[in-house]
Amino acid sequence: MTTRPIHAILIGAGNRGADSYAPYALQHPQELRFVAVAEPDPVRRARFASAHNIPIERQFSGWEELLDRPPLGEAALVCTQDWQHTAPALAAMRAGYHVLLEKPMAPTEKECRTLVKTSEETGQQLHICHVLRYTAHGKKLSEILHSGQLGEIVDIDHRENVSWWHMAHSFVRGAWRNADQSNPMILAKCCHDLDFLPWISGQTCVRLSSTGSLLEFKADHAPAGAPKRCTDGCPVQASCIYYAPWLYMELVPFWRSFVATGQGLPAALIRTYLKSPQLIRAASAVVPFLRQVTQYRGWPLGVLAEDPTPENILHALQTGPYGRCVYACDNNVVDHQVVMMEFSGGASVTLTMHGHSHIEYRSTKVEGTRGRLMAELGNGGAWITVDDHRSGKRQRFNTSGPTGEGHGGGDAELMAGFVASVRGQAAPLTPARESLASHLLAFAAETSRLKHSVVETSDFFPGKPA
C-alpha cells in the first residue's frame, strides 16, 4: 500500500524555511509535501508557492488566518524571526499540527517553557532545529565519546569560531545585532552548542560561569572620516576588512572559509577561482559544479535581496542595513564570550564563542583518561582524530557532509528525522525538554555574564516546571 506524503504548512518563507528545510519536499516528494504558506513578503510568498505548487487560496500574508481554519495537514514549520516564534508555534500545536521550530525556541525563558508545556498538554510533537545532532560529524563524535574509547572524560574545549565577516553580517549589521530586539548572542548562536555538548558527553551541566563583552564594533573604533555607509566614499575602503562591497560583491572571505575546511576537487576548484576568477567563469560553461560558485545566490546574498543580482546587491548596500559601517550600527551583542561549566560526571567543559575567527568553523577537543579526540566542522568539510594513550595509534575519520548541503548535511537529515517522527516511525532525536535544557543553559550563562556570578543550574531547572 502506498503511503501519501506528510502534508505540511510553512510559516515564514525566509532563508531557513524556504531555502534550507523546504527543499527536502522537492527532493523527496513521496515523503513530504507543502500545502500552504504564510509569509508577509509577497515576493517570498509567491516564489515559495510557485516552487511547491500551492494554490492561491492557500497562500496567506499572516499565520493567524491560516491557523484559524481546520488543519490542512499533519505538520507545521515555523521559521519566522526569533521574536515571532512563540505565538504561531503555540497556535499550530493547539490547531493540531506537529511543529518543527527554528532555533532558538524563543527569546525568553518563560516563552520557552510555555512552548514545551503546550506540546505536552496537546500531545503534539515539538522539534527544535538543533541540526548538529543530525550531522555525520555530530553522530560520529557522540558515538566515540559514548563508546568509552577515551576512558573517563576529563576536559572538553569546544569553540564556536564565528568568522569576522559572519559576525559583521549577522550580529553587527543584521537581524541578531541587538539583544533588545532579538536575543543575547550566546542564545542566538550557541544554543546549538549548549545542546550538543551534553548530548555528545551523556552528562549534564551542574554549574557555570561566563564572561564576555563587545570589544570591537563600537563608534569610537571608527576610522577617521568614515561615513555612516560604506558606499558613501569611505576613505579606508581599500583596506577595511568590513567594506561591504568587497564582502558581498566579491565574496572572497566566504569562499576562503570553504577552501580552508574543504577537501578534494571542490576545494581545489574554488581555490583556483580565488586566484583566477576569469578562468573558472569560462570553465563553468562546461562544468556545472562551477556554476554553484560563479553564479552563487545563496546565504548571505539571499538575505540582502530576493533576487541577488550584482545590481540588486549594490542597491541593497546603498540603501539597506548591510551597507552600514560596522562602527555606526545599533548593535549591542557581545563579540566574544566564554562559558565555563562543570558537568555531572566531573568533566570541565568550556564553550568559547567569538566573532573574529579567520575562518568559519567549530572545533572540539576532548581529553580523556585513555585518549584524546580532536575535531573540526567547517563550511567545506569535517574530520575527527582520536589518539590512544597506550598504543599511540591515531584514527582519523572524514565526517564531511555532502558538498553544498547546509550544516554539513544536518538540514536534510533533520527533515528526514522530523518526517519519520511525525509518521511514528522514529522518536525525536532532540526531545523538546532536552531542547529546553539547552536554552536554559544559555539564559543561565547570560545571567552569569551580566551579574559576574557562578550559577547553579539547579536554580534554573528543578522546581520550575515548564
β pairing state of 6-11 and 32-38: parallel
CA distance 353 to 162: 7
| pLDDT tens for each residue of 195-253 | 999 999 999 999 999 999 999 999 999 999 999 999 999 999 999 999 999 999 989 99
| pLDDT tens for each residue of 161-191 | 999 999 999 999 999 999 998 899 999 999 9
Q: What is the distance, to the nearest Å, from the Cα of residue 155 to the centroid of all Cα atoms in its chain?
A: 25
Cell readout for 250 is 566579491
- Largest CA-CA distance found in the chain, in angstroms, rounded: 71
* Total residues found in the chain within this entry: 466
Mean of pLDDT over the chain: 94
| Other Cβ atoms closer than 10 A to 457 | 19
User: Running DSSP on this structure, what letter comes out for residue 8?
Assistant: E
Q: What mean pLDDT is predicted for residues 326-337?
A: 98
Q: What are phi and psi of 42, to 5 degrees?
A: -65, -30
Q: Is the pLDDT of residue 131 over 50?
A: yes
